[in-house]
A and B are shown apart, each in its own frame.
Chain A
């Protein structure tokens, strides 16, 4: 019997009993669909978090004043008191280090913004031209801060999208003068609306040159310094350079904290990958259950078709012919179930994406392959016992069964 004939014979046998076949395909497909949907959910959540963090800007090292004990990310490192200030000249020094692509000093404070009789509270962010690229923000109208010395207090401002809307309505904003605190600044640009996101939102901010903000708030300290390394591999050397530089600039004591995005991302990545694997494992159990079902249905099929097996033997079928035919039938049923499940699972993932557009709920390739592989393996594995039982049947007794 050629392999093609075995397969065709098995397929005919499978389609010859539509109800039984439909039930088995359904059981198998539910298992596969469960794996596909649940891993799509898990991996979607993982990708969502990673994307959100990546949106903060890549290859980022953040310098905060004050030493955190653990060196990792904790509440303390975000709200430390300042033993020694971070200054614009620190930022300048860091800019000259090799492997450093961009440095944006950050100074923040609260003030009031006024235009045409309208007044509102606003968070003022002092920084430089590098900030836009470093954080992957986009400008909506006009242009961002000019590339100039960090110590120049130009009287210009870039508005957040919401601020612009509230102050100007439909009127053009670029080129107009606004008052912030007791200073008059020219609007040179408007940020594009930020939309959704975990990261800092620019919609309710106004952005000025760092020196302008520091003068406004009468301070020369920085809130933090953002540094972008030249690449992923450069993050570790940059971190060391920063530490060495800052240590040297403050008499051998390192009273700053460095946060790399990699550390945060890596942690989330690990947690969510583990979660996805766990979920896939649970779903795989339903595949094993489907496998047991395949075995039982195939055992029933062997009993049902005992006369046929006897006949095939009388016609000269070897034990091997019979075994292969029943194994092929189990494989065909499992494969049909796997593909039906794949379709079902992809439909489920699609529905998820439709219901939660922010969630990139695509099943990962490894999960799809593993689901199909497991379905086939369980189907064939659990098909072995029925197939062997069929092959061992005594021809006359098999024939005598009606």
Chain B
């Protein structure tokens, strides 16, 4: 059984009179622990696909089995629980809460899950150490560099050890070398067993994945390992 099984997924947006077909008949399976890059031109439906995988959006048609369970039929609270426990999300613009410190941002999912404060503190401390942020625990996002912010975001997304890590252009706002650090960090997490799905424009980063999915106009046009791999 694959960890993620999409079958015949359709997603349409109504924009005034016109309809935008953001996903057309998408069928895709991803096994546990895989490292997948989603690539394609802007507007091809990459983010829409990732949002669907992250249960932030519902398809108009098709089925989505996550770990064998049909998650499209779950109600909002059940979906929230799945997001909280099984899925980690990383965004291009970091999405840190500006008034909270790095440590508090990292602790957010644990707070939402209702973990006891002592355990939260211990886990945050470990995450800060692991991600090289130990000296930045009490800094607010505006006191951090872009790379540090994204590391805080990754620490936050993975603090509850989700099964799937979804990243939408995580290096889009970072310079090349910082982007490579962040990529390496996510690959480490993948190596420890987390499924990693990355949306990226960067062919170098895409090439590092073990499988590339190429999208065009809402449909998957190529889905093969090494299909787009440039020479390293």
Contact = CB atoms under 8 A, between A and B. Distances in A.
B114 A12 contact: no
B56 A317 contact: no
Given A12-B99, A12-B100, A396-B57, A318 B77 contact: yes
A83 interface: no
A402 B91 CA distance: 13
B112 A1 contact: yes
Contact of A9 (B80, B84, B111): B111
Interface string B86-107: 0001010101011110001000
Interface string A305-345: 00110111111111111000000000000000000000000
Interface in B67-126: 76-77, 80-81, 83-85, 89, 91, 93, 95, 97-100, 104, 108-109, 111-114
Given A9-B111, A396-B57, A313 B95 contact: no
A318 B51 CA distance: 17
Contact of B85 (A310, A312, A316, A320): A316
Interface string A159-193: 00000000000000000000000000000000000
Interface residues of B, number: 27
Contacts of B100: 12
Nearest to B109: A315
A12 B140 CA distance: 13
Nearest to B84: A316
Contacts of B57: 395-396
Interface centre among A308, A319, A395, A396, by most chain B C-beta atoms within 10 angstroms, is A395
A5 B111 contact: yes
A314 B114 contact: no
Interface SS majority for chain A: helix
B80 A307 contact: no
A62 interface: no
Contact of B54 (A9, A314, A320): A314
Contacts of B46: none
Given A396-B51, A402-B93, A317 B114 contact: no
A279 interface: no
B149 interface: no
Interface string A1-16: 1100100010011001
B48 to A, nearest CB: 9
Interface of A: 1-2, 5, 9, 12-13, 16, 307-308, 310-321, 395-396, 399, 402
Given A315-B156, A316-B109, 16 more contacts: A12-B104, A16-B99, A308-B97, A312-B112, A314-B56, A314-B89, A314-B95, A315-B84, A315-B89, A315-B109, A315-B112, A316-B113, A317-B112, A321-B80, A396-B56, A399-B56
4 closest Cβ contacts across the A-B interface?
A316-B84, A16-B99, A318-B80, A316-B83
